[in-house]
Amino acid sequence: MATVDIGKQSYKHKLKQIEVYITFSGQGVMHIDHENQEDGASEATFN
C-alpha cells in the first residue's frame, strides 16, 4: 500500500498489475493514458 501526502504527487509509472486508488478526503486528479480523472472524498479509481 502506498500513500500520497496532501499537496504531493506520486511518480509517473507504467502498470504491471491492476491498481486501486482511494481518495479518503479532499480531491485528487489521476492521469491515466493521457486522460485526467478527478476524484473526491470516498471515491475509488480502478486502473
Which residues does residue 12 pair with via DSSP β-bridges, in sequence order?
none
The per-residue pLDDT for 14 is 78
**How many secondary structure helices (H) and strands (E) does the chain include?**
0, 4
Would you place residue 22 in the very low, low, confident or very high pLDDT band (cuts 50, 70, 90)? confident
Rounded CA separation 11/28 (Å)? 14
Mean pLDDT of 5-17: 80
Mean pLDDT of 39-47: 82
Is this structure's pTM higher than 0.75?
no
